[in-house]
Structure 1
């Protein structure tokens, strides 16, 4: 560093430290990006800036990385520890070209490293963003002052003064100079390549962090009205209503006003502070997994559609906050029109929410306007977020997907979008969902309370520490690749004007929607609450000795770690004892003490609440529980028998719980679970023969209980079908609901979803898809149903089975 630059750094260091508060992306770049603090580091910056260097200096110190303002010695020569792609902006005029200077610096570095032979260095790109304003389609004075990161000293002073608390420092994966030198390219050629890669990298990074430039509201109206794709719908609407062209345009404008977001970067900056306070008030922290895969997709130029599960109204805020803090442009959010009430509606709009009616039926123009608005978002490069479940899950399980938004997304691709679309499934979980008690009331028939400010104030009064929140980004689904694999000629259906509904659309959309839900379940977060709820609800009378509960939790943790459901499922690092203490701290379990030690239990209302959290991860234990049930209740004695039974019932369970195993994977998974059960001393395996270890049978019985309610529900439906072969679907659903309620009352089954009509309807739909249910007398079909009845009922507790039989006589 030159003496002049060193002087300015020393002079400005304290003012910058006072005014600037940097946010790091990602939170732990050394671990997440593979930056090795033990290896030499040289930074690549986008712009030559003293304030950027000082801000980076503080971050580097926290991370244990070298100071960018100290030189690095290579081959006995001191070199600057950073390179800048762009030069410093003068007060008047344009910045001097930096290419020659940066290329010369890269060339010198390459030359010295080649002489050093095995001396490797990590080139670490670092971008600093002062605020996250994407700018608008035209310029303004304000944009000139605050939006240009290649700023003169005066503009940089203004940016530090007004946006210093919103400084984001974005690290990227390091470039190994040893790998760059491992070839025959000349030093100058490598230097040119590094300079070119760095410029392109920072351009893409800005797109990822800031998003596309915003479209003015009146400009959006004009684009939608002038869209050729909307023309036929407007003409038809005008003919029906006998309206003039001007009146039709007014109608379209009103619809756009009802739908459109009014994105504000300023509100997001304020929201970032408010939500940071809120999360600290509500939660001990937010656990985030696999965010880097999404950052990479964004940086690769993909059109990203976030598709999360829907647990709570908090989902809207939590996911957008996490995306913003993870260094990506917040998405536009599809929200129900019920959330547009004042004053929340205008705030949500400025946060990126756009609103949709619950149904488009009966209004073709509205449907066409909404599709066109969505297309404009895609076409302009905005990421979008929507919930395929259509509403919040009242049971804690994933709901059957609503395919309308997925269909519109695929149809957007058929408009000829020039960028690939990738859907990112997201698992959202909480140690406490504030609406759970309301959900249980609704499942019992209570009317849903309309959203209002009164509800908001009620919620605010309840603010306290609710444990942790969890955001896991699942395996992305490339729509382009999916269509290439399943509909090779799909591009023949591309039409930029006419709405396309090819014959393959509906089955393909259904397949994509189910794949989304499966991938959400594939990245579930196992937590202290969900795992403890699962174990305690598996015990008779919902009470268990503390030491036995800890043993059960450790059993489950070992199973999840040794036989992972998928690589994306996150499992706590703590022991069973530590997880139990965390769960007890959240005041959801009752702890009583007697002379023999502590007992952990749930009262009736607590048990009902805990079913919600258990259901978040029930799919992870469905097959191990089914295996345990086959050993405990059916007394199976060989691995082949167990595998055959599980494989036979798997299609039904897969359909209901969105399980993702193909047949070959399923066989191997069953084998691995049995081997792990043997390793945990629950069973012995001798030449493929399986026997229960008597001393640990209780643990196996508890595990077998997790699938019992599902099997009981299956038995109810199948027994009714067996008795009434010609029963219609609506009657089957009604009779099953009535019998499930009776079973719930007699046997104290406290899970509200046990007799939920939607859950029963999902199972009946699965039976129909698998040709078990036809609603007609069929000898072959009856025989298959009887075999299925025999399999399912053989896995039930005898008392429950007796109640079902008695109720149908």
Structure 2
């Protein structure tokens, strides 16, 4: 059998197999042969134009052309003595996974042959009929989530996806023949208007643009085009320079260095898909309504106003893995474009990673210091996203908070965003701080384990399934609040950096810009806290965890809840902060429903207690809102401990401690504003009858009175911060000036903190959080209480020793003695402790290397 005969048999067999599962719906008008004009060539043949190379698409077009009695697409095409195997022309041949393989011709070979024939034979012409083939109905009308995931998008389908398309959507595929265009006329027009380029350049570009426009009618605009983005990035000047440097540095060929760069791009680049986003929208809509009691969104009008004129960079706090999904869901469901999300490469798991990528995620390694090629490729991709004015989203804290507090900022993504903006400004950039609050956490059990010393578990599909199987199906509401925007140009202007230009990808960031980055990070975190939502669970946690046994008489608990709410309403932390509208009684009923607390019945009055095993987890929700109460808590602690204290002493002590609390909790007031704020809280507590004023003195309520008990509960939230401060101060002073390095103090503080936590009825996560000790020592250095010598050891003078004396105004004698005892080490004990820390660190490092 001849080769052509075998081809025809293969075509017929394939067509019959497709006919069993595919019934395309022809849209629009079917092309008809117009009567020939006198000036037209004597011979005219038809050639169907498809965008992407696809055997199945060609077979579908061939089947429909035969059914409609049109010239068959896969029949040979005869032009005088010349013959082509088929009457189909594919505009694009490149594969997104093989950017290196450049075909011998930059244009479809069949098109080049046809152009050559027409130029030699003036009596022939080719009638080009563009054809659109789509698999699946309009995604808006798709009723199956699985089918919706595989409906047609702008991206070229893989072979596997095309097979799935045929199986799922064969009966709902669409085919449209567009208006025929004369190839000879296109050639002539190209010569007249673009004399310096080949006619093929104009023809391919024109037909691609035309078919893109037809697809856009059904699919919306092309927002992904991953293949073209990657191709543009790999050919950019800066990436090509980095590839040359990688070739020299690693002693590899240019081809191998380019393969590495393409590998990085495949690892990083998003693959935004309309169908994936719509699939996720349907799925998440059920999640929020079935697992949760819905999503409460505040201040979204801010987003809508900014979207018109600014490049929005969403910078939410990071509480849970579903933060990604929540924010995108809220934005998309309210009619705005889903942001491109910077996701850690730990989430680039099979299936999950592809879904996230389709929803706009691009992946970033946790660290890429020392990898110049990866750095250049990633920065170039980020620059391309900014240049296209796509909204961005990343977590300013880097990872998820395990304690419920905001973590110190990781400024890497922020710095690269500013760097890209200064390379070529498109729209002005605005950072949008976003508070996310939950009333129950999916990862709650994992967080508790990690804060108790267990190693962080690597993410996996099985881990996610395991978590979903264990969770209770009662999660309350999710709260999302958009905070005060941070305008980048304003911050740059404050630091005199508004006119700085950055030319190339690897240009360093000037100091003024670096200062602006740090200021932006601080402002973002402060504005997240300003937009906090005081939900029922966080408020109740704050109160119950402040009691010795985490229990309260129900009536007293109700009054305490109402007092806290009234304090927030009479003296709001910020006008963007949202406070639960529930009364104290309603809050207790709500928390009982979520199984965070239990009611213990008693003849003398019911008692509210934290459910067994929930205490550690509730510290997480308490810490979400701790910043809103820490200053009034400090005032309450000073008055409660001393009984009678001069008002000015309360103000002075608060001003001394405020810089440490501000750094730890990202409080919004400047240091020169805190005196006024402390006086305002004194007046508010006086109005609430929790303290009284006698001349220049502040007086605590009578012991054992209801007001005294309320003041004690209010005083508790700040105490652990002060205990940690005193503990670190005692460690430094006990060893003496110049005896320990900063790192040793941080690690020893954490170790002693873990020991101290055992003295509580539950392990308080704060004493396991090394970042809090690092922040405290950083502020001590900034305030010049301590400094480091040439040996990197901490040195101090008498002024530093005096700070510890302030603890007498807040901590009782028993607590001071306990803290003094656990921070007292002999030289031998200190040596053993530091050696144990070094050994544990080495063991952990070894485990990481094995992974």
Would you call these one fold, judging by a TM-score over 0.5?
yes
Structure 1 residue 739 and structure 2 residue 752: aligned? yes
How many Å separate the matches in 2 of 1:366 and 1:584? 51
CA distance in 2, matches of 1:478, 1:528: 32
Q: Of residues 223, 248, 251 in structure 1, which corresponds to 2:257? A: 248
SS of 2:787's equivalent? coil
How far residue 670 of structure 1 moved from its aligned partner, in angstroms, is 1.4
Residue 265 (structure 1) aligns with: 274
Of the three residues 732, 737, 761, the one matched with 1:721 is 732
Q: How far apart are the structure 2 equivalents of 1:753 and 1:322?
A: 32
CA deviation vs aligned residue, 1:320-372 (integer Å, no higher than 9, x gap): 10111122111111111111111111111101111111111221000110011
- Structure 1: distance between partners of 2:602 and 2:412: 56
Q: Is the 8 A contact 1:211 1:381 kept in 2?
A: no
CA–CA separation in structure 2 for the residues paired with 1:721 and 1:627:
27
Q: Which of 190, 197, 219 is the matching residue for 2:228? A: 219
**Do the aligned partners of residues 242 and 702 (structure 1) sit closer, same or farther apart at CA in structure 2, a change above 3 Å counting?**
same
Name 2:581's counterpart in structure 1: 573
Aligned counterparts of 1:595 and 1:158: Cα–Cα separation in 2: 64
Whether the aligned pair in 2 keeps the contact of 1:212 and 1:381 (CA below 8 Å) is no
Aligned partner of residue 297 in structure 2, secondary structure: strand
The SS at the match of 1:660 is coil
Distance across 1 between alignment mates of 2:682 and 2:578: 22
Aligned ranges 1:152-191 → 2 under 5 Å? none
Decide whether aligned partners of structure 1 residues 158 and 265 sit closer, same or farther in structure 2, where only a CA change above 3 A counts. closer
Structure 1: distance between partners of 2:330 and 2:473: 20
Q: Deviations over 1:449-470 (max 9, x none)?
A: 2211112222332351200101
The answer (yes or no) to whether the contact 2:292–2:478 under 8 Å persists in 1 is: yes
Residue equivalent to 2:548: 540
Change (3 A) 1:636 1:375: farther
Alpha-carbon distance change, 607 to 245 in structure 1, aligned in 2, over 3 angstroms: same
Counting only pairs closer than 5 Å after superposition, residues 15-164 of structure 1 correspond to structure 2 as none
Cα separation, 2, equivalents of 1:377 and 1:160: 26
Q: Helix, strand or coil for the counterpart of 1:605?
A: coil
Q: What is the CA distance between 1:275 and its match in structure 2?
A: 0.5
State whether residues 299 and 481 of structure 2, in contact with CA within 8 Å, keep that contact through their aligned partners in structure 1: yes
Corresponding residue number in structure 1 for 2:812: 797
Q: How does 1:450-469 map to 2 (within 5 A)?
A: 450-461=458-469, 462=471, 464-469=473-478
Q: Does 1:287 align with 2:296?
A: yes
Q: How many residues align?
A: 617
CA drift at 1:288: 0.7
TM-score, structure 2 normalization: 0.69
Q: Could you tell me whether the CA contact under 8 Å between 1:545 and 1:600 is conserved in 2?
A: yes
Conservation of the 8 A alpha-carbon contact between 2:442 and 2:468: no
**CA positional deviation for 1:783:** 2.5
Match in the other structure for 2:715: 704
SS at match of 1:746: coil
Distance 1:435 1:271 in 2: 21
Over 3 Å counting, the alpha-carbon distance change for 1:522 and 1:779 in structure 2 is: closer
Q: Distance in 2 between matches of 1:686 and 1:326?
A: 55
Q: Which deviations, in whole Å up to 9, do the C-alpha atoms of 1:691-719 show, x marking residues without a partner? A: 22323111111100111111111110011
**Alpha carbons 1:212, 1:380 under 8 Å: kept:** no
Gap runs ≥5 in structure 1: 1-139, 147-156, 167-209
Task: Determine the C-alpha separation between the residues in 2 that align with 1:474 and 1:143.
Answer: 45
State how 1:523-672 maps to structure 2 within 5 Å: 523-602=531-610, 605-672=613-680
Distance in 2 (CA, whole Å) between partners of 1:800 and 1:211 is 66
> Deviations 1:709-753 (Å, cap 9, x if unpaired)?
111111100111122222211221233223222322234353122
Larger radius of gyration: 2
Q: Which runs of 5+ in 2 are unaligned?
A: 1-129, 149-218, 825-851
Asked if structure 2 preserves the Cα contact closer than 8 Å seen for 1:145 and 1:159, the reply is no
Partner of 2:388: 380
CA–CA separation in structure 1 for the residues paired with 2:548 and 2:241: 63
Instruction: Tell me how far apart the structure 2 counterparts of residues 218 and 271 of structure 1 sit (CA, whole Å).
Output: 23
Deviations 1:768-802 (A, max 9, x none): 22222324599994323222211134311332211
Between stretches 447-456 and 595-604, larger displacement belongs to 595-604
Q: CA deviation at 1:644?
A: 1.3
Corresponding residue SS for 1:307: strand
Equivalent residues in 2 for 1:339-418, closer than 5 Å = 339-418=347-426
Give distance in 2, aligned partners of 1:158 and 1:493.
45
Distance 1:424-1:620 versus aligned 2 partners, 3 A rule: same
Deviation at 1:756, TM superposition (A): 2.6
Pair 1:233–1:646, CA change in 2 (3 A): same
The answer to whether the 8 A contact 1:526-1:571 is kept is yes
Aligned residue number for residue 785 of structure 2: 772
Cα separation, 1, equivalents of 2:394 and 2:291: 24
2:771 and 2:449 map into 1 onto residues whose CA distance is: 15
Query: How far apart are residue 432 of structure 1 and its match?
Result: 0.5
Equivalent-residue separation in structure 1 for 2:241 and 2:511 (angstroms)? 22
Instruction: Classify the secondary structure of the residue corresponding to 1:595.
Output: coil
Aligned residue in 2 for 1:430: 438
